[in-house]
Structure 1
Amino acid sequence: MQNTRLNNLVGAIILRFGQWLSNPWRRWSVMIISFLLGIFIGTAISTSAGQRAELDIYVAALIVLAVELVSRLFYRRRVGVESFWIEALNIFKIGLTYSLFIEAFKLGS
């Protein structure tokens, strides 16, 4: 790629964000936010799909597909290779799954 101002700016932003995330407390805060966002999205999906009974099967299939893709991406990586974004996506998946279990317990099914 050419060394343009935009490339320099994006590179500097990514570098500074990576330095910002090197602090363990900030990494934990992003992971907790990811988990809570997964819980929120899981609740929103279950209530939205529950409004129309026709969409339940399709939404469930989509969620299972997304969860399996994230699991494959997370658990198939090489040992020792740490990717912050893949880890945050896995935490989001855990929050989503947790939320769907809570919603199922609320409905008594």
Structure 2
Amino acid sequence: MFINISILSLTLGFFFANILSTIPAQTGEWNIMSGSIIVTLNEIINKFIYKKKYTDKFIIFKLINNIKIGVIYGLFVDAFKLGS
């Protein structure tokens, strides 16, 4: 059951990445702000997840980490789409 939830959280992160990369880019002036917000949130999540020693006990930390990984993966895929 945990594998299904992990895959669902990865795809949810991928969906969030598509939202984060398309909506602010409509005006063209929000690219730097949205990029800095995404990097800041990523680093804050990393600080809380990898600092604690009891992260293996709670499933919510694993799901948040999977969503974060999905967002990063989705942004890489969007960057490759723009580069081609």
Q: CA shift at 1:45, angstroms?
A: 1.0
Q: CA deviation at 1:29?
A: 1.1
Cα distance in 2, alignment partners of residues 37 and 78 from structure 1: 26
The runs of 5 or more residues in structure 1 that have no matched partner are 1-25
Shift of 1:81: 4.5
Compute the displacement of 1:77 (Å): 1.0
TM-score scaled by length of structure 1 = 0.72
User: Pairwise mapping of residues 46-61 of structure 1 onto structure 2 (< 5 A)?
Assistant: 46-61=21-36
Distance 1:45 1:80 in 2: 27
Aligned length: 84
Name the SS of the counterpart of 1:28 in structure 2: helix
Matching of residue 87 in structure 1 with residue 62 in structure 2: yes
More contact order relative to length (CA 8 Å, sep ≥ 6): 2
Q: Give the secondary structure class of the aligned counterpart of 2:19.
A: helix
* Code of the aligned partner of 2:20: I
Which runs of 5 or more structure 2 residues have no equivalent in the other structure?
Answer: none
After superposition, the C-alpha distances for 1:71-95 in whole angstroms (9 at most, x for unaligned) are 1111111167421001100000000
Q: Is the 8 A contact 2:6 2:66 kept in 1?
A: yes
Once superposed, what is the RMSD of the aligned Cα atoms?
1.6
Q: TM-score, normalised by structure 2?
A: 0.92
Rounded Cα–Cα distance in structure 2 between residues aligned with 1:59 and 1:49: 7
Runs of 4+ residues deviating >3 angstroms: none
* Residues 35-72 of structure 1: CA deviation (Å, up to 9, x unaligned): 00000010111011211111111111110011101111
